[in-house]
Every structure is written in C-alpha cells, then in structure tokens.
C-alpha cells in the first residue's frame, strides 16, 4: 500500500514538470497567444524599439538646442533668439516622449525633477543668475532649471523679442547667458548619465528580470508609467491649472510653458501620445507595433466578464476620448483656463477615466504588486 500513498504527490509534481517541459516546445503552435505572455520579448521590445530610440532622438534634439543656445550666447540677437527658441520647443516636445520612462536610471538620477518642474521659480532664477556658484543639484533647485526655467529666460524677460534680446546685453546679460549655459550643460550631463546607464548594464538587467513583484524593472516601469500619466499628465498639465484637483480654484499661471503660452497644448498632446504609443508598443521611429502592455493583456485574455470586451480595447477607446478632449482645447492652456475652464475640467475627467483603467484594471490583470508584505489574497 505504501506505493499508493506516494502516488498523488509524485503525480502532482511530475505533472507540473512535464507540463513545464512540454509547453516550452509545443506551446506556440497550439496556442498562438502563449508567446505574447513571454515577458522577455516584451521587455526587449520596450527597451530596444521604444525606450532607447526615444532617448536617442531626444538626445539629438537636446544637442541641437545646446548648439543654438551657444550661437545665441556668442551673438545674442533676434535671429539667434528665435532659432534657440525653436530648438527649445522641439527639444521640449521630444522630452515629453521620454519623461514617462521614470524608473531605473531616470528615476535614480531624478532626471524629471531637474528637467521639467513647473511653475518655475523666477525669483530663484534671478538670484541664481547673480550667484555663479548656486547649487543646482538639490531638491530646492528643481524649479530653477530645466525647460520651465528656459521658458522664462527665452519668453518671459520682455514682451517683444527685441526687449528679450536687450536683457542679454550688458553685465547682467553675460550672467544670464552664463546661467543658460549652466542649465543646458546640466541637462546634457544628466541625460548622458541616464543614457549611458541604459546602454551599459541596465538594459541587460531590464530584459533579464521579468518578475512582476515590487522592485522588478517591469513592476517599476508600469508603476512609473501610470504615476506619470496620473500625476504629470492628468494633474500637472490639466488638473492643477484648472483647479480640478484643489478646491476648484483655478491657477492659470501653473500651466506648462507658461511664458511661451501657445505651447502648452502641444506639450500635453505629445506626452499623451507617447503614453498611448507606449501602451500599444508603437516603435519610436516607425508606426510598427511590437510586444506591448496591450499585447500582454490580450495574451492574458483580460476581458470584462460582463461585457466581453478586451481590457486593451476599453483602454484604447478611453485613450481616444482623452485625445479628443485634449484636441478640443485651445493651444494656450492659460487662455483656456481663464476663459473656458469647463473644457479643461472635461478633459481632466476623461484623463481620470484612463487613470482608473490603468491603475486598477490593468495592474490587477497583470498582477503587479505594490507592497512586499504577506498577502493571502483577500
């Protein structure tokens, strides 16, 4: 009888191992979706087709901006100001396409905090201009640098280009140019650090650790992606200026690119498009799609039990509604908040629906954990 006793557990162990072995070979042919559950392919696509190329094209834009800033520095005239401003705009838009990768090297070096914290602190900037040794590497310096500080320095020093150029003449002018050089230099240094870590050991780590627990690259990526959408797109670009978040009191002066005015919508749309494309696995340099959060959810077969709709379809349809709502806004969010804030609040409500789908439905379906304490699933 002893042999019978051992049957059940041995069968159980044996079965699991045999299944494991079988499915590695035969899984793909019988079940087309199975390979899309492979998170290694997902990680490789995300890093090689989206994240790294996005950083590369951002780096190019930033280099152009630095070049133009140097030309302006050498000869501060209206033509060079306009060229610098245009390059700043393009780099700022390109930045929106990498800001969402707030995990790993980017998070470690807090690149966002040094690139895009607004509203910018003009008094702090003016003080720093006078102090060539002002510390730019601490949290209190977040709002005195990056794109919002350049926004002020390029667009906020006068009402006409001639007036702005005039601010770069004389003794203070030289100090201002020196501060611009400090800011652009710092942005480049931070970006090179992040990019070189990605090109170095982090990419290997990223594609080899496929777990979903806390601290795993994919878990951090998804949590960082959602936090970006929630706090920096929904709240930062729309919710805070429109007062949707606090007390209903509007703060039009807290829009992104406040001094440039007509750029805020373009930036919001770029950031939103980057978030949508990332979800769908769209390559950075073409419209091709690879393994993505969408294909992973589809492979898991995540659908709403009551409606039968795939979760990815529900998310994409809500992404479209958010897109539409953003598209309908004025190019200038400052103007929109002061004259037609209801449109901002409507856009906020659509973006909030995306947040819930990503934060609740998607993470739940992917089984991503947020804490590492014990849990018995109740």
Partner 1 sequence: MQQNIYWPRLAYLQKSASTAPLAVFRILFGLLIGVSMIRFALHGWIDMLYIQPLFHFSFYGFSFIKPLGQATYLIFGLCLLSSLMVTLGWYYRWAALSLFLSFTYIELMDQATYLNHYYFISLMALLMTVLPAGRYFSVDVFRKPEKACSRMPAWCLHAPLLLVFILYFYAGLAKLNSDWLLHALPLKIWLPARNDMPLIGQAFNLPWIPYLFSWFGCFYDLTIVFFLLYKKTRVGAYLTVVVFHGLTAILFPIGMFPYIMMVTALLFFPASFHHQLLDKLSKALSLSPARLHTDHSYRFPLHHQKWILTLVGTFFIFQLLFPFRYGLYPNELFWSEEGYRFSWRVMLMEKAGQVQFTVQDSHHAPERVINSAFLTPLQEKMMATQPDLILQFAHYLRDFYTKKGFTAPKVYADTYVSLNGRLGQTLIDPSTDLARETDSFQPKSWILPFKDEIKGL
Q: Name the residues that contact partner 1, by CB under 8 A.
A: 1-2, 4-9, 12-13, 16-17, 19-21, 23-24, 27, 31, 34, 37-40, 210-213, 245-249, 300-307, 309, 311, 314, 355-357, 359-361, 363-378
41 vs 56, beta carbon nearer partner 1: 41
Q: Phi and psi of 303, rounded to 5°?
A: -140, 160
Smallest distance, Å, CB 233 to partner 1?
16
Q: How far is CA 251 from CA 58, 133, 258, 332, in A?
A: 30, 33, 11, 14
What letter would DSSP give residue 370?
Answer: S
- Burial class of residue 186 (count of CB atoms within 10 Å of its CB; 0-12, 13-18, 19+): middle
Q: Where are the alpha helices (DSSP H) in 234-362?
A: 240-242, 264-280, 293-300, 311-327, 333-339, 341-356
CB of 206 to partner 1, least distance (A): 14
Minimum distance, C-beta of residue 228 to partner 1, in the bound complex (Å): 16
Q: What tokens does 308 get? A: 């039968």
Quickly tell me which residue has 């703060």 as its tokens: 251
DSSP letter for each residue of 244-266: TTTTT---GGGSTTTTT-TTHHH
The least distance separating partner 1 from the CB of residue 255, rounded to whole angstroms, comes to 20
Residue 227's CB is within 10 A of a number of other CB atoms, namely 16
Query: 168 or 206, CB closer to partner 1?
Result: 206
Minimal distance, residue 251 CB to partner 1, in Å = 14
Min separation Cβ 365 and partner 1, Å: 6
How remote is the C-alpha of 171 from its chain's centroid?
Answer: 39
Nearer to partner 1, 156 or 217 (CB): 217
Which residue lies nearer to partner 1 by CB, 153 or 311?
311
346/348 Cα distance (integer angstroms): 5
Q: Which of 98, 99, 176, 80 is nearest to 132 (CA)?
A: 176
For partner 1, which is the closer residue by CB, 172 or 304?
A: 304
Shortest CB 199 distance to partner 1, Å:
24
What does the alpha-carbon distance between residue 205 and residue 320 come to, in Å, rounded to a whole number?
34
Query: Quick one: 33 or 331, whose CB is closer to partner 1?
Result: 33
Judged by CB, which is closer to partner 1: 3, or 133?
A: 3
CB of 40 to partner 1, least distance (A): 8
CA angle 324–327–328, rounded 5-degree value: 90
Is 57 or 113 the residue whose CB approaches partner 1 more closely? 113
Nearer to partner 1, 189 or 367 (CB): 367
- Greatest CA separation found in the chain? 100
CB of 250 to partner 1, least distance (A): 12
Q: Cis peptide before 119, with omega less than 30 degrees from 0? A: yes
Cβ-contact 256, 118 below 8 angstroms: yes
CB 323 within 8 Å of CB 272: yes
């Amino acid at each position: 009888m002893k042999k019978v006793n051992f049957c059940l557990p041995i069968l159980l162990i044996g079965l699991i191992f045999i299944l494991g072995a079988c499915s590695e070979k035969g899984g793909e042919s019988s079940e087309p979706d199975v390979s899309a559950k492979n998170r290694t392919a997902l990680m490789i696509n995300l890093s090689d087709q989206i994240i790294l190329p996005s950083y590369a094209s951002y780096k190019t834009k930033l280099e152009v901006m630095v070049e133009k800033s140097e030309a302006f520095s050498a000869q501060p005239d209206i033509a060079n100001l306009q060229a610098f401003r245009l390059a700043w705009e393009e780099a700022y838009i390109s930045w929106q396409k990498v800001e969402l990768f707030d995990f790993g090297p980017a998070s470690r070096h807090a690149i966002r905090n040094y690139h895009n914290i607004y509203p910018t602190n003009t008094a702090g900037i003016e003080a720093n201009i006078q102090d060539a040794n002002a510390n730019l590497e601490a949290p209190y310096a977040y709002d005195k640098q990056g794109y919002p500080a350049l926004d002020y320095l390029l667009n906020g020093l006068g009402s006409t280009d001639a007036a702005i150029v005039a601010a770069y003449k004389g003794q203070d002018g030289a100090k201002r140019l020196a501060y611009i050089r400090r800011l652009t230099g710092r942005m480049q240094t931070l970006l090179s650090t992040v990019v070189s870590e990605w090109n170095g050991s982090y990419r290997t780590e990223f594609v080899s650790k496929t777990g979903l627990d806390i601290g795993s690259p994919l878990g951090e990526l998804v949590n960082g992606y959602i936090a970006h959408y929630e706090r920096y797109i929904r709240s930062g670009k729309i919710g805070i200026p429109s007062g949707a978040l606090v007390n209903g009191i509007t703060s039009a002066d807290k829009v992104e690119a406040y001094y440039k005015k007509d750029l805020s919508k373009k930036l919001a749309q770029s950031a939103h498009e980057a978030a949508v494309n990332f979800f769908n696995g769209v390559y950075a340099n073409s419209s091709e799609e690879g393994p993505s959060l969408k294909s992973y959810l589809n492979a898991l077969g995540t659908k709403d039990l009551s409606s039968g709709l795939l979760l990815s379809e529900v998310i994409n349809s809500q992404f479209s509604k958010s897109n539409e709502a953003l598209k309908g806004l004025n190019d200038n969010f400052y103007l929109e908040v002061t004259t037609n804030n209801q449109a901002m609040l409507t856009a906020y409500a659509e973006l909030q629906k995306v947040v819930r789908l990503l934060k609740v439905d998607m993470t739940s379906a992917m089984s991503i954990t947020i804490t590492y304490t014990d849990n018995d699933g109740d």
